[in-house]
A and B are shown apart, each in its own frame.
Chain A
Amino acid sequence: MRVPLSKVFVLASRDYIHEWQMSFCFVLALAAVLGPMMVLFGLKFGIVGAMVDQLIEDPGNREIRPVSSGRFDRTWLESVRKRSDVAFLVPRTRSIAATIELGSEGSSRHVRAELIPSDEGDPMLSPQGERPEGVTRIVLSRSAAEKLQVEVGDTLDGSLARQYRGHKERVHLPLTVAAVAPARAFSRDGAFVSVSLLEALEDFRDGRAVPRMGWDGDGEKNARTYPSFRLYARSIYDVAGLRDAFAKLGVDVKTHAADIELVQRMNRNLTAIYWVIAVIGLFGFSLSLGASLWANVDRKRKELSVLRLVGFRTMDIAWFPMVQALYTAIFGWALAVGLYQAVASVINEMMASQLIEGQQVCRLLLHHYGIALGLTCASAVIAAGLAGLRSAHIEPSASLRDL
């Protein structure tokens, strides 16, 4: 025959409200600990987040390029491309051979464009835009497009020359502008083209025949190898792993792993510092709440023994400090959230000029609020547990006649 929990809950609530001044002090004390902690975490999360955002935003940070040229064949490259931490891989032809003269009708200028091998899923190109395709469709870099004064759909005249059997030879090929790459993709004059076009141009320069283009030469190339490749890791966090994997294969690569690791290390260190502060803060709060709840049991000894007298059970009584501690936790958390949001909006306002649109220095995700509430409730429950045990042991006879 237990007292219904709802009854215990109502009584504990009434007591909490009746002593609202005392309760408010507890709530304030909690918010004073939790609020700054949330601001601190928001700052850490926001600053590290912004740095990570910047790293992620530029796909160039995911690039891995061999330092010196090697001899990579198709099967080897294919096996690397199939790795789960590799997002994109295309072979590079010799860079000496990877240029072309471009001319357009709209402009008298001729542009010498560097050619970058590309393919489906090139992270440097905008995901919605057209890809370079076959031997005619290419993606121009912004600067090349401006110099040539062309737009998407325009045709260009591509030409290249070679020294062949003692005399100079020049071929022309019609090219179509499939798209213009974003400015950050390539800052110089250049064009993203298919690997097959690059292979054709390299063969032409080497004096070989390229029958599919109708170019004459000394027979076809059979076993092709590539001196280099364009590789992008799936995420910035895969870069270091890939670098090490290449080192094992004897391929020296250049990466942005150091930048990424710096941010990661900073994140780790800040997180560690933050948790030390948070644990000390919550422990302190737990201790102070526990102490005051413990003292409360003494203060309310008579009232609790009255409840004991009218038949409240041990467990019913133990719920009292528990319910009240949870109230403190929830209200204190709510106040801390309000405090945090006020401070965060001021900080973000102050920093707005130094940040990209929509970025925030002080920022929390929804689940961070949840974690804060969970931790607070947990420490409150631990604090109340001891007081609860103590209040459960109140003997009605011993304290009824106090006062």
Chain B
Amino acid sequence: MSHSFADSWGLLVFGTWHHNMNTSDSSPSQSRGALVYYVRDVVKTREAEGVAFRLKVPSLQIAMGEKIALVGESGCGKSTLLDILAFILKPSSVGAFRFRPERDGEPLDMDAYWRSGKLNQLGDLRKRYLGYVMQTGGLLPYLTVRENMDLCRSVLGLKHDGTIEHLAEQLGIVKHLNKLPDALSTGERQRVAIGRALAHRPSIVIADEPTASLDPYAAQKIMSHFMDLVEELNITVILASHAWRHIKELGLRRLHHRTVRSTDTNLTETIVSG
């Protein structure tokens, strides 16, 4: 996937992209009717020690209930895109960035939030609508598994209704509920993280390589649990992974991208559309 910087890749990219429309329940017409994300010409530039990275998103639309996979090699900008979609990373420039968490609500202009520095409102949106599964746990070491899974719920003021226990059962971690995360294996922690991201029934779950630190067998098992759960709860999923093989069987729509590395200017650029 390495091209010379001289390629006029702005055009080229549109030409070479193809969408996987074979995903389970989201036909194009449906998805256009209920878009959760509408992104146009979003750019994020990151620079460190004279080495620059640029993520370009000419156009990205994600429909409600869609299951999206972002697959690519390490360093191609998956986490960068997910963070932008989770409102925890400010894009450098924005054509349009709209988010509509409720099917019949008004779309929200995320760019306006960022520009006016309303970080607390972004936090409120995350709290209400997003679940985020990190590459490694991200559990609070001073809370038990149960409390960790309950974190998002309790922050929203939701009452105990057996959701946690139900989730724990499906993820196979019931017997660990009263333990501290320290006493869990990495895979078990990852399941707790998945449980936490789902417990408050968010409309969207963003998962950044949730199984990267696990062996393929455990990864397979946890991912299929995860997919069952999001299917059951009808949650929009955006998943990053560097291995397409596992993802393919889970029935996700793959988001394609193109990475261009220039040798002379130390710039890596990734263009994502879908």
Using a CB–CB distance below 8 Å, which chain A residues touch chain B?
A: 1, 3-4, 7, 11, 14-15, 17-19, 302-303, 306-314, 395-397, 400-401, 403
* Residue among B123, B138, B140, B143 with the highest chain A CB neighbour number at 10 A: B123
**CB-based contact B143/A14 at 8 Å:** yes
* Residue among B128, B139, B141 with the highest chain A CB neighbour number at 10 A: B141
CB of B142 closer than 8 Å to a CB of A: yes
Partner of A17, one of B88, B128, B140, B142: B142
* Residue among A309, A311, A403 with the highest chain B CB neighbour number at 10 A: A311
CB contact under 8 A between A313 and B126, given known A303-B141, A397-B88, A397-B89: no
Chain B residues contacting A14 (CB-CB under 8 Å) are 142-143
CB contact under 8 A between A18 and B141, given known A309-B88, A400-B134, A401-B135: yes
**CB-based contact A1/B136 at 8 Å:** no
**CB-based contact A310/B88 at 8 Å:** no
| Cα-based distance from A19 to B140 in the complex (angstroms) | 12
**CB-based contact B155/A312 at 8 Å:** yes
Q: Which residue of B lies closest to A395 (CB)?
A: B88
* Residue among B128, B139, B151 with the highest chain A CB neighbour number at 10 A: B151
CB of B33 closer than 8 Å to a CB of A: no
**CB-based contact A310/B126 at 8 Å:** yes
Partner of A311, one of B127, B136, B139: B127
Among residues 135 to 153 in chain B, which have CB atoms less than 8 Å away from a CB atom of chain A? 135-136, 138-143, 151-152
User: What are 14 A-B interface contacts by the 8 Å CB criterion?
Assistant: A11-B143, A18-B142, A306-B138, A306-B140, A309-B126, A310-B126, A311-B124, A311-B152, A313-B124, A314-B119, A397-B83, A400-B134, A401-B135, A403-B136
Chain A residues contacting B123 (CB-CB under 8 Å) are 308, 311-313
CB contact under 8 A between A303 and B157, given known A309-B88, A309-B126, A311-B128: no
Chain B residues contacting A11 (CB-CB under 8 Å) are 140, 142-143
CB of B178 closer than 8 Å to a CB of A: no
Q: A9 CB to closest chain B CB, in angstroms? A: 13
| Cα-based distance from A302 to B86 in the complex (angstroms) | 17
Chain B residues contacting A19 (CB-CB under 8 Å) are 142
Partner of A401, one of B79, B132, B154: B79
| Cα-based distance from A311 to B155 in the complex (angstroms) | 8
Q: A5 CB to closest chain B CB, in angstroms? A: 12
CB of B120 closer than 8 Å to a CB of A: yes
Q: A388 CB to closest chain B CB, in angstroms? A: 15
**CB-based contact A396/B88 at 8 Å:** yes
16 new A-B pairs (CB below 8 Å) besides A14-B143, A311-B124, A311-B152? A1-B128, A3-B155, A7-B154, A7-B155, A11-B140, A15-B140, A303-B141, A308-B123, A309-B138, A310-B152, A311-B123, A313-B123, A397-B83, A397-B89, A400-B88, A401-B135
Q: B26 CB to closest chain A CB, in angstroms? A: 27
Chain A residues contacting B142 (CB-CB under 8 Å) are 11, 14-15, 17-19
Q: A399 CB to closest chain B CB, in angstroms? A: 10
Using a CB–CB distance below 8 Å, which chain B residues touch chain A?
A: 79, 83, 86, 88-89, 119-120, 123-128, 132, 134-136, 138-143, 151-152, 154-155, 157, 180
**CB-based contact A310/B143 at 8 Å:** no
| Cα-based distance from A135 to B138 in the complex (angstroms) | 96
| Cα-based distance from A334 to B253 in the complex (angstroms) | 61
Chain A residues contacting B89 (CB-CB under 8 Å) are 397
**CB-based contact A313/B140 at 8 Å:** no
Q: Which residue of A lies closest to B132 (CB)?
A: A309
**CB-based contact B120/A314 at 8 Å:** yes
Chain B residues contacting A403 (CB-CB under 8 Å) are 136
Chain A residues contacting B125 (CB-CB under 8 Å) are 311
**CB-based contact B127/A1 at 8 Å:** yes
Partner of A310, one of B83, B119, B155, B157: B155
Chain A residues contacting B135 (CB-CB under 8 Å) are 401
Chain A residues contacting B180 (CB-CB under 8 Å) are 18
* Residue among B120, B128, B140, B154 with the highest chain A CB neighbour number at 10 A: B140
Chain B residues contacting A313 (CB-CB under 8 Å) are 120, 123-124
**CB-based contact B140/A303 at 8 Å:** yes
**CB-based contact A310/B127 at 8 Å:** yes
| Cα-based distance from A397 to B85 in the complex (angstroms) | 11
| Cα-based distance from A70 to B169 in the complex (angstroms) | 104
* Residue among A15, A307, A397, A403 with the highest chain B CB neighbour number at 10 A: A397
| Cα-based distance from A306 to B79 in the complex (angstroms) | 16
Q: B49 CB to closest chain A CB, in angstroms? A: 16
Chain A residues contacting B143 (CB-CB under 8 Å) are 11, 14
Q: Which residue of A lies closest to B193 (CB)?
A: A306
Q: A11 CB to closest chain B CB, in angstroms? A: 7
Of all A-B residue pairs in the complex, the 4 with the closest CB atoms, nearest first, are A311-B127, A18-B142, A397-B89, A396-B88
Chain B residues contacting A7 (CB-CB under 8 Å) are 154-155
Partner of A302, one of B119, B124, B132, B138: B138
Chain B residues contacting A400 (CB-CB under 8 Å) are 88, 134, 138
Q: A227 CB to closest chain B CB, in angstroms? A: 84
Q: Which residue of A lies closest to B123 (CB)?
A: A311
* Residue among A14, A18, A309, A310 with the highest chain B CB neighbour number at 10 A: A310
